[in-house]
Structure 1
Amino acid sequence: MDPATLLGLGLAFVFIIVANIIEGGNPMHMLLLPPMLLVFGGTIGVTIAGGTMADMKNAVKSAKRAFTGKTEADADIIETIVDLADTARKEGLLALEDKLRAIDDPFLVKGVTLAVDGTDHEELRDILEAEVHAKKKTDKQSAKFFTDAGGYAPTIGIVGTVMSLVHVLGNLSKPDELGHMIAAAFLATLWGVLSANALWLPIAAKLKRISDLEVNRMEMVIEGVSAIQAGSNPRIVAQKLRSLVSDDAEAA
């Protein structure tokens, strides 16, 4: 599990709460049900309306990945591919069938299986690249769901504030309650802006980042499988794959 999302969002809310306390505020006053219900419920509703039910289901699954997803280190897959290349060069492609049972990367297993089955080099690459393309499309749509939510939330918050201010104007005869009602009115705008920038948009950014890392790994697998199929020298394969690993991917 990569703790970056939980850690980052946790820090953001801690600093927001601490700043509120330093200013003399009470964080509990921010937890007012009506504006929170309007902002979160309204935002999710209009975001769903802008897509399909399939988009919503994929977004729910992706949200879990944003908090608990983990990308494997590229060094591990390079080591595995080099080992496969060494075996294929010494014993032939058919010798790789036994090794596939110990590999837990489905994409690599699929690529090597196609190679062992004698799939044409170009056809094999086309099949694997088509899967990468499909993954990019799915991941892009999942991230878009949360990006859209981040765009809608502030506006929904303003709608809530306007609604509450209309209520305030209807109660001008109760001056002793105006302060509380005005403060409550602006909570909708607060939660709209806060949820967009401290929840929806960070989740979208994390999903895009995870997708980039996973796609980079899949592209590395494609190059590795092509090299294995061509019978390339394992040392050359290792050098080629390491050249595809960016600094930020190593850091991740």
Structure 2
Amino acid sequence: MDIATIIGIVAAFGLMLMAILQGGGLGMFIDVPSMLIVFGGTIGVALINYPLADILGAVKVAKKTFLYQETSTNDLITQLIEFANKARKEGILSLQALIDSVDDQFLVKALQMAVDGQEPEDLKTMLNTEIEYIQDRHSKGAEIFLSLGTISPAMGMVGTLIGLVQMLQNMSDPSSIGPAMAVALLTTFYGAVIANILCNPMAGKLKTRSKSELLQKTIIVEGMGSILSGENPRIMEQKLHAFVAPSERESSFN
């Protein structure tokens, strides 16, 4: 679980709630018509803009902002070096026994392809193609959340205009001015909260997660290609360290 995302959401909503309670009750910020305009309108416009399957897919991708467990790049490189040493001493087929102990499904696929006798270039081509489609799916998820972050303030503005029209049409009735003004202001408030506390930050976190995940998959592709080519593990490590900042590199060789 990504503790940073949880802390960020709790802090943002918690501080906002404290500010609201300092100035009065929470009830004055709850308005059903405003919620219908912003939440319902945002979902409706998103469904117009994207197929239903893409919207549901974005919800699944959004789980990465909460449930993503990142693997250390250095640990991954160390694991690949261990595979290289074993393949160099016992042959490439010896990696078959290690497949069940690997959690990363992309690495499992790469190992299985290596054991099945794929040529290094063919393995790289097939895995790089899969990486491209993974990147497309991740990009689409982040794009949808960015769109939601754009749509929700726009729907808030629509609600503001509705509230102002209602208020201006009933200026002769003082009792109707308050509810109409509440709709006008709260829709803008809801739209701003959805965009700036949820959708836009989640899109940013998804982009960061995608870059990290794709980097590790690229390391797997390069590492497995080196293993199939029979490359010296020390040289292979130097090649893979090119993907890691110099200050963060850890060598398996003393």
| Partner residue, 1:143 | 142
SS at match of 1:243: helix
Following the alignment from structure 2 to structure 1, what is the Cα–Cα distance between the partners of residues 75 and 2?
17
Assess if the C-alpha contact under 8 Å between 1:3 and 1:68 holds in 2. Answer: no
For residues 45 and 249 of structure 1, the distance between their equivalents in structure 2, rounded to whole angstroms, comes to: 46
The answer on whether the counterparts of 2:159 and 2:183 sit within 8 Å (CA) in structure 1 is: no
RMSD: 2.0
Contact 2:65-2:202 at 8 Å conserved across structures: yes
Q: Contact (CA 8 Å) 2:219, 2:240: kept in 1 or not?
A: yes
CA distance in 2, matches of 1:87, 1:117: 17
Measure how far apart 1:81 and its partner are: 0.8
Preserved contact between residue 157 and residue 192 of structure 1 (Cα < 8 Å)? yes
Aligned equivalent of 2:223: 224
Scaled by the length of structure 2, what TM-score is found? 0.91
**Equivalence for 1:6:** 6
Task: Give the partner amino acid of 1:76.
Answer: D
Structure 2: any 5+ residue segments left out of the alignment? Answer: 250-254
Work out the CA distance in 2 between the residues paired with 1:196 and 1:248. 36
- CA displacement, residues 51-102 of structure 1 (integer Å, 9 cap, x when unaligned): 1122112112112222222222222222211110010111110111111121
Deviation of 1:180 (Å): 4.6
Per-residue deviation at 1:167?
A: 1.4
The residue identity in structure 2 corresponding to 1:8 is: G
1:160 is aligned to 2:159? yes
Helix, strand or coil: the match of 1:101? helix
The answer to whether the aligner puts 1:236 opposite 2:226 as a matched pair is no
Q: Any conservation in 2 of the 1:87–1:96 contact (CA below 8 Å)? A: yes
- Check if 1:194 corresponds to 2:193: yes
Q: Do 1:213 and 1:249's aligned partners in 2 also have CA atoms closer than 8 Å?
A: no
Whole-angstrom distance in 1 between the partners of 2:208 and 2:248? 10
* 2:19 aligned residue: 19
Deviation string 1:135-183 (CA, Å, 9 cap, x unpaired) is 0001111111111010111110010111112111222122245245313
Do 2:119 and 2:228's aligned partners in 1 also have CA atoms closer than 8 Å? no
CA offset digits 1:187-212 (Å, max 9, x no partner): 10111112111111111111111111
Separation (CA, whole Å) in 1 of partners of 2:17 and 2:128: 47
Corresponding position of 2:252: none
| Amino acid in structure 2 at the alignment position of 1:66 | T
SS of 1:5's equivalent? helix
Query: 1:1-252 counterparts in 2 under 5 A?
Result: 1-22=1-22, 24-246=23-245
Percentage identity across paired residues of the two chains: 38
Q: Which has the higher contact order (CA 8 A, sep 6+)?
A: 1
Distance 1:204 1:248 in 2: 29
**Stretch of structure 1 that moved more, 13-22 or 35-44:** 13-22
Letter in 1 for 2:19: A
Greater Cα offset, 113-122 or 49-58: 113-122
Instruction: Decide which moves more: 123-132 or 4-13.
Output: 4-13
Q: 1:109 to 1:65 in 2, by over 3 A?
A: same
Per the alignment, in what secondary structure is the counterpart of residue 104 of structure 1?
coil
Distance in 1, Cα, partners of 2:30 & 2:237: 55
Amino acid at match of 1:103: V
